[in-house]
Structure 1
């Protein structure tokens, strides 16, 4: 990646987070965080990775709300950033946190249990 796309990725991420927190009023929107943005070298497309907390249903609703709002988000980015052409946005769920949790559970099982066992009533782990 070039410095230009890295800088643009950072700007898009910051602006999208601000839009989600302050301006997007969709009731389906749950707790979502923009984890990263990857802009294509030609600046024509940008993948927006979103981490969503909640149940499966809440995550689906939030991702649906974000996909529906993509044209609005792109238009708002155009108003905020001085770009000749605003990249097309593709919103994707970032499940790296869930994957990390799954890997930790597997490692704990292989190791014989949790690394910090919870003591029982007698104070024994």
Structure 2
């Protein structure tokens, strides 16, 4: 049996790929440290939630970047409409994805615990 892909997932992947390219090449320099981790599109393709991670540690800076992305969402949607061939281009809402930062935190905690246990076994 052939594996079928959901249309919303294909549209989400297309939006993710195109937006990532646009942020990297065409937008302001502050968006160069933004990574689009995933996109979810509503069933009727009218709304898209774009999850982003930011290469920054300060919460204020992260909030400012996500807010700036949401402020430029209309122009990004306009440019997206010219890049992709869709009848309706969904409205974009950018949301900070904490999973990457949380993963790095957990990884560093595990590394520290391993180093401490190695020191104790050497002594």
TM-score by length of 2: 0.79
**Counterpart residue number, 1:114:** 113
**Post-superposition shift, 1:116?**
3.3
Runs of 4+ in 1 over 6 A off after TM superposition: none
Structure with the bigger percentage of helix:
2
**Counterpart residue number, 2:98:** 95
Residues 1-125 of structure 1 mapped to structure 2, 5 A cutoff: 3-25=6-28, 27-29=29-31, 31-54=33-56, 55-104=58-107, 108=110, 114-117=113-116
**Post-superposition shift, 1:53?**
1.6
How many residues align? The count is: 116
**Post-superposition shift, 1:84?**
1.1
RMSD (Å), alpha carbons: 2.7
**Structure 1 spans left out of the alignment, 5+ residues:** none
**Structure 2 spans left out of the alignment, 5+ residues:** none
TM-score by length of 1: 0.78
User: What secondary structure sits across from 1:114 in the alignment?
Assistant: helix
Given that 2:81 and 2:89 are in contact with CA atoms closer than 8 Å, whether structure 1 keeps it comes out as: yes
